[in-house]
Amino acid sequence: MNLTDRPRRLRRDGVRSLVSETKLDAHDLVAPIFVDATTDERVAIGSMPGQERVPVDDAVDRVEEVLETGVEAVMVFGIPESKDERGSRAWAQDGIVQEAVRRITAETDAYVITDVCLCEYTDHGHCGVLESDAAESPTLTVRNDATLELLAKTAVSHADAGADMIAPSSMTDGMVGAIRDALDGAGHESVPIMSYAAKYESAFYGPFRDAADGAPAFGDRRHYQMDPANGREAIREVALDVEQGADVLMVKPALAYLDVVRSVREEFDHPVAAYNVSGEYAMLHAAAEKGWLDLDEAAHESLLAMKRAGADLIITYFAEDLARRL
């Protein structure tokens, strides 16, 4: 054995950080926030310790809490006061996200990203307009092309309210192109789109669906979200969004899909985002609560791995805790 090469030489304190390849930085993190039109008090989200739904009157305070930690960007999710078949509160001028975004952009310097989807707004909980017989034949669920127009209207209403970036998450084919056209038509040429480009049909979204009250009432999302079995298909999905004008490419979830983060990083020059989803957050909290692992260390290591895999930015419920420690 040749012992002239000893990698351990560079692992001592003092030199470790000089040679470290990856660093986490508060500037690379986006904190999701939940604004809820059905409450006038903050409501803790049971399955996501430390996360809350806040009434619109607390939206600015909530964002200020984020900014104090050094995180500069938020992703806004809304829980509307009422739901209907088409999700019409998603594009309402006086909708919950629109109202929150107007206040946040007027009163803070946060960079405001909005999630564009219909599942929190439809009474059936799917991410678009349904086939008329969908409840009986759950293999045919969302009508793709009829949904595009609604997503486009929603995106424009968010930009009109002051959103800095639009993040469509419904996995509707053609959504990025439809939203880009609509934004440009409404004078929002400079508002970028962060596409949930490779979004998988994942069991790790469970806690979010409690948080945002967006679980499908029947069936599931496997007809529009990606099959976890597929990696090559992610490249095709992402390429379509790039052709349609996506500015930032997101992979979601993150931890179980780091191979996808890496291949998107290698295949495209665009910035890559990883969404460290609710289930990834909840499972670390649950294990830590039992005393089975150290929460801060495990969270830090997880996010570091996402950057190492190639993510430029990370959307994460750990944003504030992590930033405070950095």
Q: Which residues are catalytic?
A: 199, 252
Helix (H) or strand (E) holding 30: strand 29-36
277 scored as a contact of ligand PBG (CB under 6 A)? yes
Q: Shortest approach of ligand PBG to residue 264 CB, angstroms?
A: 18
Nearer to ligand PBG among residue 209 and residue 222 (C-beta): 209
Please select the residue that binds ligand PBG; options are 34, 121, 208, 257, rule is CB under 6 A: 208
Q: Shortest approach of ligand PBG to residue 147 CB, angstroms?
A: 13
Please select the residue that binds ligand PBG; options are 91, 200, 205, 318, rule is CB under 6 A: 205
Judge contact between 37 and 75, C-beta under 8 A. no
Please select the residue that binds ligand PBG; options are 115, 164, 237, 241, rule is CB under 6 A: 115
85 burial level (CB within 10 Å; 0-12, 13-18, 19+): exposed
Segment near ligand PBG (CB under 6 A); pick from 14-22, 38-46, 203-211, 304-312: 203-211
Report which residue type is found at 144. Answer: N
Q: Take residue 113 and report the two structure tokens written for it.
A: 């990203």
Nearer to ligand PBG among residue 40 and residue 85 (C-beta): 85
Phi, psi values for residue 147, rounded to 5°: -80, -30
117 scored as a contact of ligand PBG (CB under 6 A)? yes
Please select the residue that binds ligand PBG; options are 141, 263, 278, 302, rule is CB under 6 A: 278
C-alpha span between 14 and 195 (Å, rounded): 40
CA 148 to chain centre: 19
Please list, in sequence order, all residues whose beta carbon lies within 8 angstroms of the beta carbon of residue 292, skipping any fewer than 6 positions away: none
C-alpha span between 277 and 250 (Å, rounded): 12
Q: Shortest approach of ligand PBG to residue 248 CB, angstroms?
A: 15
Chain positions 23 to 82 lying near ligand PBG, rule: CB under 6 A, are none
C-alpha span between 208 and 220 (Å, rounded): 15
Residue with structure tokens 């750990």?
Answer: 318
**Residues that contact ligand PBG, how many (by CB under 6 A):** 10
Segment near ligand PBG (CB under 6 A); pick from 5-13, 38-46, 53-61, 205-213: 205-213
Nearer to ligand PBG among residue 209 and residue 267 (C-beta): 209
Nearer to ligand PBG among residue 58 and residue 115 (C-beta): 115
Q: Shortest approach of ligand PBG to residue 134 CB, angstroms?
A: 17
157 scored as a contact of ligand PBG (CB under 6 A)? no
* Coil/strand/helix, residue 186: coil
Phi, psi values for residue 325, rounded to 5°: -85, -15
SS3 content of the chain, % helix, strand, coil (to 5): 40, 15, 40
* Coil/strand/helix, residue 273: strand
Nearer to ligand PBG among residue 18 and residue 138 (C-beta): 138
The site for ligand PBG (CB under 6 A) is made up of 115, 117, 119, 169, 205, 208-209, 214, 277-278
